[in-house]
Amino acid sequence: MATLPALRRFAYSLTHSVPDADDLVQNTVERVLTRDIPADVEIAKWAFRICRNLWIDEYRAQKVREAAVHNPEFHQRQTFEGEKQVMQEMNLSSVGSAMQQLPTEHLTVLSMVAVQGCSYKEVAEALDIPLGTVMSRLARARTGLHKIIHAQDIMDSGLSSREVH
C-alpha cells in the first residue's frame, strides 16, 4: 500500500494519462498479487519493474493496433482559462510529447529520476542495471529531450534550421 502513490506517479510519467496510469497501476497490482514473489526481491522495486514491463507491452500492442486501424489515438485536452495556465499546459504538453519520442530505456530512467524522484542507485537496483548505465541513459535522455524541444520550437516559430544558426 505504501508503494501505490509512487507507483501511480511512475505510471503517469510513462502514460501521460490519468486513466491509463490508473489502469497500469491496477494491472501492476494484480500481477504482484497473483504471482509468487521472488525470494530475494524488494517488493517495491519488483512492482516498478512489473509496471515498466506492462507499459512496454501495452505500448507495443498499441502501436500494432494503430498501424492496423490507421487511426491515431485522440487525447481530450482540458481547457484552462488564463494565459499563464494555457502556456503552462502547452509547455507540459510539449515536454510530454518530447518524452514520448525518447527511446524506452531513456524514458524509463528519466521518469524514475525526474518525475518519481528516485536516486540513481534506486533506479539501478529497480531496473537491474549498473549505476553508470543509469547516469549515461539519464544524460542521453536529457540531451535528447533538449534537442526534441528545440526542434519543436524552431518548427513552431516557422524558422528553418539555417535561420536559427
Predicted confidence at residue 79, as pLDDT, reads: 42
Instruction: Report pLDDT digits (tens) over 47-87.
Output: 898 898 898 888 777 776 666 555 444 444 444 445 555 55
Q: Taking every pair of C-alpha atoms in the chain, what is the biggest distance, in angstroms?
A: 59
Predicted confidence at residue 64, as pLDDT, reads: 66
Predicted confidence at residue 124, as pLDDT, reads: 92
Predicted confidence at residue 102, as pLDDT, reads: 87
User: Are residues 89 and 165 located together in one domain of the fold?
Assistant: yes
What is the extent of the structural domain holding 41? 1-76
Helices (H), the chain: 4-15, 18-34, 43-69, 83-100, 104-110, 120-127, 131-157, 161-164
* 16, 43, 76 - which closes a domain: 76
* 21, 50, 76 - which closes a domain: 76
CATH number at residue 113: 1.10.10.10
User: Are residues 69 and 91 located together in one domain of the fold?
Assistant: no
Instruction: Report pLDDT digits (tens) over 125-151.
Output: 989 999 999 999 999 988 988 888 888
Instruction: Report pLDDT digits (tens) over 5-23.
Output: 888 988 888 888 899 899 9
Compute how many other C-beta atoms are within 10 angstroms of the C-beta atom of residue 49: 17
Rounded to 5°, the CA angle 99-156-74 comes to: 55
Please check the confidence at residue 26 and state whether its pLDDT lies above 90. yes
Predicted confidence at residue 78, as pLDDT, reads: 42
Q: pTM for this structure?
A: 0.48
Predicted confidence at residue 90, as pLDDT, reads: 55
User: Are residues 85 and 165 located together in one domain of the fold?
Assistant: yes
* 76, 95, 112 - which closes a domain: 76
Domains contained in the chain, number: 2
